[in-house]
Amino acid sequence: MASTAVVLGIALGAFARIAAAAQPGAAEPVPAPMRDLVWGKLNFLHTTDTHGWHGGHLQEPQYSADWGDYVSFAQHMRARAHKDGVDLLLVDTGDRVEGNGLYDASTPKGKYYYDIYRQQDVDIICTGNHELYVASTADGEHLYTVPNFKTNYIASNLDYIDPRSGERMPMAQRYRKFQTKNQKLDIVAFGFLFDFIGNANNTVVQPVKETVKEQWFQEAIMEETDVFVVIGHVGVRMPEFQIIFRAIRKQNPLTPIVFFGGHVHIRDAVAYDARSFAVASGRYFETIGWMSVDGELERAARSEDARPSFHRRYIDNNLSGLHHHTGLNATTFPTEHGRNVSAMITSSRTALDLDYAFGCAPKTLWMSRSPYPGKDSIYSWIETEVLPDVAVNPDRRHLPRLAIVNTGAIRFDIFQGPFTRDTTYIVSPFLSTMAYLPDVPYAMARKVIKLLNNAGKIASSSSAPPDNRFMANPEQLAVNESIIITVNEEGVASDDDAADLTGDPAPQKPLGEGTNADQRPPRLTEGYTTRDDIGTDGDDTVHLPVNFYVVPNCIQAEVGFPSDGEPETVDLVFMDFITPWVLMALSFLGGEYGREEVQLYVDGTFTELMAGWIEKNWPKRC
């Protein structure tokens, strides 16, 4: 498909849809035991941190449904809600961009994404930090996604600055009051972003604790409503949601409040009290979150004794799972609109030449599913193979250097097989370059990595960079909260609810032709085995657990070191993203270096350097 013309791509894509949806070339899903969805009066589907993966995971069958399949799914689910006289709302909590070729590979970025994304009827939508790092991304949000979703877009604590007039205005309305379609439930909804400080200067993020003091917010929480819906690009255990919860609850002791969060890239659920419930729905369009609220929701029926009940489910973005939950099959599931959206994605991927292969990965390299250091660790590969080759400045190649890369610069595993243009953006979507400080005393330089890898902050002054863990991936933030994983002495984390898999209380309904209850249980695939505050039955598909290993904030390669003895001085080379932490670490070690002394070490982004290395070192074909 990679080389077919755009027009042909659409035609073939639409045709392929008839047999099976998901993107062409995506691996076929296989059956597994399922837990069903529990419907209530008010139901939600939730996506978060999709990061451009709207084409689905082409190399992972369990997440290979695409945005068009989700459009079909939502249409069927809405129809069912309508038939049953209940309501269904769709929510998205931001970080829709950066992290996949479908968004990142075009010039300008998002050329195809905005039109694809808007095809889904999302009822409540807000902004993530990734919409704001780069000024042009925030402009894109202002120019396309906000108008595409009109009154559904909420920006409770985010302003946009018009580049021409310099005028500061709310990115979108501060909150939304509306009635559900079927039951006419009154909903007051908010859309927040955590107290993010890394945004470009064309937006302003107001700290949540300030926002809740504002008059509009205080008035909004006094509105007559049946349910409050707070969505946010905020981890459900982060203090920002606590602040909002307490502010609303103070004025509304009995009103149900539901929260939808994200940012931390995990599946999670928490009840803040008996009448509130918060769900986080993973990352990278692997997960479609489900929440239902049941009970007497109308405020007229509200009483001390009447308590709503809540359910959550983490739906694998897996086509056979979506068939299962709708009771449909490959023929009956795709809707015309859904097919059209899948075809849009196919033609966009073709136009962007996302399947162009730089080389063939000889084996799978894991971020956290294999220990670091280790032969299957993506970080060990970068440290021992990539950096020595690419951390080279033509004028200083004879000088020894320490090259430091933050682990957050790598966003995804590399699977054995073609390493494509798409993979490049998936693995490393950032525009970070390699910077350096020349001739740093080795005695000092060698201690920097240790400081960067300390938990917490290097120094606690107001000018200090944020928590060191921001150099690693968001998933690592969750590690110490012991939400989904438990860490043993070796730093190895694993979910120990394997027992739960066999003794699963939910009825297990094997799918697929020829399977029936008498047969041996189907083979389990590895995947999410989520443990949240509610229990271990959240995932819709029963999986074998996946190992999870803690990785440091940063890794380091010694390049061009003398074969005997230690160098006097080295070039300290590092990703420009971590400059504030590196300078802080040096200062802590007694070395005062200013930002103006930091120079570009080698031309090109780290991503380009890595792709270049692959082109040169891995076989061209698989």
Ligand X SMILES: *[C@@H]1O[C@H](CO)[C@@H](O)[C@H](O)[C@H]1NC(C)=O
Instruction: List residues near ligand X by CB under 6 A.
Output: 29-32, 34, 61-62, 161, 166, 201-202, 318, 320-321, 324, 329-332, 336-337, 340, 455, 469, 476, 479-480, 511, 525, 527, 541, 550
Give one DSSP letter per residue of 106-139, joined into a string: SSSTTTTHHHHHTTS--SEE---GGGTSSHHHHH
* Cβ proximity to ligand X, 222 vs 459, nearer residue: 459
**Contacts with 203 (C-beta within 8 Å, 6 or more apart), sequence order:** 132, 138, 158, 159, 160, 161, 171
Q: Could you tell me the smallest distance in angstroms from the CB atom of residue 303 to ligand X?
A: 40
CB of 216 closer than 8 Å to CB of 250: no
Rounded to the nearest 5 degrees, what angle is found at the Cα of 244, between the Cα atoms of 240 and 249? 145
CB of 255 closer than 8 Å to CB of 275: yes
Q: Could you tell me the smallest distance in angstroms from the CB atom of residue 575 to ligand X?
A: 19
* Cβ proximity to ligand X, 347 vs 541, nearer residue: 541
Q: Which two structure tokens, joined as six digits, stand for 373? A: 């250091």
Q: Could you tell me the smallest distance in angstroms from the CB atom of residue 475 to ligand X?
A: 10
The residue type of 464 is A
Buried b (16+ CB within 10 A) or exposed e, 231-258: bbbbbbbbebbebbbebbbeebeebbbb
Virtual CA dihedral for 125, 129, 135, 137, nearest 10 degrees?
Answer: -50
Residue among 434, 343, 332 at smallest CA distance from 391: 434
* Cβ proximity to ligand X, 197 vs 301, nearer residue: 197
Helices (H), 154-288: 208-211, 215-220, 239-251
Q: How far is CA 390 from CA 366, 429, 601, in A?
A: 21, 18, 10
Q: Which two structure tokens, joined as six digits, stand for 265? A: 């890239």
Pairing of strands 124-125, 87-92: parallel
The residue type of 372 is Y
Tell me which H or E stretch contains 72.
Answer: helix 67-84
DSSP β-bridge partners for residue 544 = 526
Largest CA distance in the chain: 81
Q: Could you tell me the smallest distance in angstroms from the CB atom of residue 529 to ligand X?
A: 12
Residue among 621, 617, 99, 622 at smallest CA distance from 386: 617
Q: Could you tell me the smallest distance in angstroms from the CB atom of residue 201 to ligand X?
A: 4
Q: Could you tell me the smallest distance in angstroms from the CB atom of residue 33 to ligand X?
A: 7
Q: Could you tell me the smallest distance in angstroms from the CB atom of residue 223 to ligand X?
A: 34
Residue among 31, 107, 118, 19 at smallest CA distance from 67: 118
* Cβ proximity to ligand X, 254 vs 328, nearer residue: 328
Q: Could you tell me the smallest distance in angstroms from the CB atom of residue 416 to ligand X?
A: 16
Q: Could you tell me the smallest distance in angstroms from the CB atom of residue 64 to ligand X?
A: 9
* Cβ proximity to ligand X, 53 vs 190, nearer residue: 53
* Cβ proximity to ligand X, 85 vs 166, nearer residue: 166
Virtual CA dihedral for 76, 80, 85, 89, nearest 10 degrees?
Answer: -40
Q: Could you tell me the smallest distance in angstroms from the CB atom of residue 167 to ligand X?
A: 10
Helices 319-326 and 67-84 pack at an angle, to 10 degrees, of 10
E strands of 21-129, at which residues? 42-47, 87-92, 124-125
Pairing of strands 203-205, 158-161: antiparallel
Please give the Cα distance from 447 to 522 (Å, whole number): 51
Please give the Cα distance from 11 to 91 (Å, whole number): 31
Q: Could you tell me the smallest distance in angstroms from the CB atom of residue 617 to ligand X?
A: 31
Rounded to the nearest 5 percent, the helix, strand and coil shares of the chain are 30, 25, 45
* Cβ proximity to ligand X, 218 vs 416, nearer residue: 416
Please give the Cα distance from 615 to 424 (Å, whole number): 12
Q: Could you tell me the smallest distance in angstroms from the CB atom of residue 277 to ligand X?
A: 25
* Cβ proximity to ligand X, 61 vs 128, nearer residue: 61
Q: Could you tell me the smallest distance in angstroms from the CB atom of residue 204 to ligand X?
A: 10
Please give the Cα distance from 342 to 324 (Å, whole number): 20
Q: Could you tell me the smallest distance in angstroms from the CB atom of residue 108 to ligand X?
A: 18
Q: Could you tell me the smallest distance in angstroms from the CB atom of residue 336 to ligand X?
A: 4
Residue position matching structure tokens 């979150």: 289
Q: Which residue is nearest to ligand X (CB)?
A: 32
